């Protein structure tokens, strides 16, 4: 099991630590999912792709990974205090749950386009209200939460007697003045840094549930504590999200979980860095967001042509997940060229004439290269280093072309590694299959035209019918 030496940067300790799962052979990973009130932008996608690599690599290492990525469909408030989903429901004249469903569907479709694997469980916040209420009851009983005018708040000063609040972000409590996602009236709270676990809903509020305190809704931070605890237990291996969630969201999650279970919830905290546009964080609120579909179709204000999702994925992976990445046409075009070079390089290897004798010396050179590649992944999933190492193999391919002494076994091993590294782990589809399929289709249609010219209608109809079965419609002009 795991002959590798995987080191992961743990945001909790600000250091790279050797990864060892809590339970043998199994890994529990929770990642904060999207708030489904609008389409996800490229920045959101970058974060989910970063975790997709982590998920894929852990699976490759042989772990049985339970990957939980939630859907936030309640409790995420606008600066005005209005629920984001309710607000959008009014604008689009739909039920809040229709909004949540619509944008959940589009989120899933976008991630499919990016070749992101589905998580093992994708729980929704509104489906876990009972669990959230139970946690609040427990925290009140332990004196770590208090009620106030129908709302419930987490008591930071009490919590600080058992653990220190803000340790993930390293924020000094005295300096924590405002919390933009929790604009509770100051009068209701004992301290300004206390945060809401339950909010009493105003009459006009659309999404509310009965509770022992009021008809209301849970605070945003609570859902992740409830769902991670339910599906991964009191202690699990990895908790992730974008770096902008470190504070307050993740610090609040830690406080709730420690208060509730007496244990630190996650061993490793992983934070993915932001995608920026002109050095500014891409965000819905700054209105500088690019939607994936705009990039794939070429219809946007920033780029002059469409891009393949594979190229965008490759562009993201050319930066380490912990580094900020600025998106620009120049940078994506450079990635596109790089991606083409990569495909050509692998094609050269596929077309090499093999010798009838296998070459042990060459195989051991390929294995040395393999080790270098896995060293990159073991070093905190370093995808840019891995991609550089993959390009390095070009020298080896040139050498094989020149010497002509590679056996079938050696080439198969080499090609198998590209499949593992690029396809399975980085999720990059590098085969030229689409253009190959197009060429095969053209050949078939030509054969059919010839058959029709010779009045061999049984052959031409058979080709048409079989193509129709594959979803390819053949229209005859005459």
Residues that bind ligand AMP (CB under 6 A): 32, 34-35, 43-44, 46-47, 241-242, 244-245, 274-275, 281-283
Q: Between 52 and 378, whose beta carbon lies closer to ligand AMP?
A: 52
Regarding 32 and contact with Zn ion (CB under 5 A), the answer is yes
**160 token code pair:** 């600080």
**155 token code pair:** 């008591």
Stretch that binds Zn ion, among 25-33, 116-124, 254-262, 417-425 (CB under 5 A): 25-33
Cβ 316 to ligand AMP, closest distance in Å?
Answer: 10
Cβ 72 to Zn ion, closest distance in Å?
Answer: 7
Regarding 74 and contact with Zn ion (CB under 5 A), the answer is no
Beta strand pairing call for 26-31 and 236-242 = parallel
1, 349, 358, 407, 414 from 362: Cα distances, Å? 27, 14, 9, 9, 10
Cβ 40 to ligand AMP, closest distance in Å?
Answer: 7
CA distance 267 to 369: 32
Contact partner, 224, from Zn ion, ligand AMP, none, Cβ < 5-8 Å per class: Zn ion
Q: Between 257 and 426, whose beta carbon lies closer to Zn ion?
A: 257
Give me the residue whose beta carbon is nearest to ligand AMP. 242
Q: Between 250 and 313, whose beta carbon lies closer to Zn ion?
A: 250
User: What is 200-238 written as a DSSP string?
Assistant: EPPTT-SS-B--SS-SEEE-HHHHHHHHHHHHH-SSEEE
Q: Between 259 and 265, whose beta carbon lies closer to ligand AMP?
A: 265
- 206-235 residues near Zn ion, rule: CB under 5 A: 224
CA distance 347 to 431: 8
The alpha carbon of 5 is separated from its chain's Cα centroid by a whole number of angstroms, namely 23
Contact partner, 308, from ligand AMP, Zn ion, none, Cβ < 5-8 Å per class: none
Cβ 307 to ligand AMP, closest distance in Å?
Answer: 18
Cβ 35 to ligand AMP, closest distance in Å?
Answer: 4
Nearest to 67 by CA among 221, 240, 235: 240
Q: Between 21 and 265, whose beta carbon lies closer to Zn ion?
A: 265
Nearest to 275 by CA among 248, 250, 302: 302
Contact partner, 34, from Zn ion, ligand AMP, none, Cβ < 5-8 Å per class: ligand AMP
Q: What is the dihedral of CA 228, 231, 234, 235, to 10 degrees?
A: -80
Q: Helix or strand or coil: residue 419?
A: helix
Q: Which residues bind Zn ion (CB under 5 A)?
A: 32, 224
């Amino acid at each position: 099991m795991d002959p590798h030496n995987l080191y992961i940067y743990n945001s909790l300790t600000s250091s790279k630590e050797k990864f060892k799962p809590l339970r043998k052979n199994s890994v529990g990973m929770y990642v904060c999912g999207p708030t489904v009130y609008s389409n996800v932008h490229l920045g959101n996608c970058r974060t989910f792709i970063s975790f997709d690599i982590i998920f894929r690599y852990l699976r490759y290492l042989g772990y049985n990974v339970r990957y939980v990525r939630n859907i936030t469909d309640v409790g995420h408030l606008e600066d005005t205090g209005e629920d984001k989903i309710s607000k959008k429901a009014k604008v689009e004249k739909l039920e809040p749950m229709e909004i949540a469903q619509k944008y959940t569907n589009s989120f899933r479709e976008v991630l499919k386009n990016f070749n992101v694997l589905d998580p093992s469980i994708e729980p929704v916040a509104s489906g876990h209200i009972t669990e959230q209420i139970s946690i609040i009851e427990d925290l009140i009983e332990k004196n770590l939460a208090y009620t106030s005018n129908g709302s419930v708040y987490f008591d930071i000063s009490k919590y600080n007697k058992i653990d220190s609040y803000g340790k993930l972000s390293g924020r000094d409590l005295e300096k924590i003045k405002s919390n933009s996602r929790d604009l509770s009236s100051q009068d209701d709270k004992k301290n300004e840094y206390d945060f809401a676990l339950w909010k009493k809903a105003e009459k006009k509020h659309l999404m509310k549930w009965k509770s022992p305190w009021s008809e209301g809704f849970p605070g945003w931070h609570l859902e992740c504590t409830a769902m991670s605890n339910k599906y991964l237990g009191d202690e699990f291996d990895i908790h992730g999200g974008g770096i902008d969630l470190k504070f307050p969201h993740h610090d609040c999650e830690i406080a709730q979980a420690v208060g509730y279970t007496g244990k630190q919830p996650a061993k490793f905290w992983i934070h993915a860095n932001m995608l920026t546009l002109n050095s500014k964080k891409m965000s819905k609120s700054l209105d500088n967001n690019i939607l994936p579909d705009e990039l794939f179709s070429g219809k946007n204000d920033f780029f002059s042509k469409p891009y393949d999702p594979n190229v965008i994925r490759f562009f993201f992976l050319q930066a380490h997940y912990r580094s900020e990445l600025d998106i620009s046409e120049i940078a994506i075009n450079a990635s596109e060229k790089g991606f083409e070079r990569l495909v050509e390089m692998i094609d050269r290897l596929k077309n090499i004439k093999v010798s009838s004798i296998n070459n042990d010396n060459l195989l051991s050179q390929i294995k040395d290269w393999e080790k270098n590649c896995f060293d990159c992944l073991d070093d905190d999933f370093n995808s840019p280093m891995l991609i550089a190492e993959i390009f390095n193999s070009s020298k080896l391919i040139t050498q094989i072309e020149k010497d002509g002494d590679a056996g079938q076994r050696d080439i198969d091993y080499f090609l198998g590694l590209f499949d593992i590294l690029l396809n399975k782990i980085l999720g990059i589809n590098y085969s030229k299959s689409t253009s190959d399929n197009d060429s095969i289709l053209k050949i078939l249609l030509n054969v059919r035209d010839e058959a029709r010219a010779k009045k061999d209608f049984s052959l031409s109809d058979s080709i048409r019918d079989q193509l129709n079965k594959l979803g390819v419609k053949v229209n005859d002009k005459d």
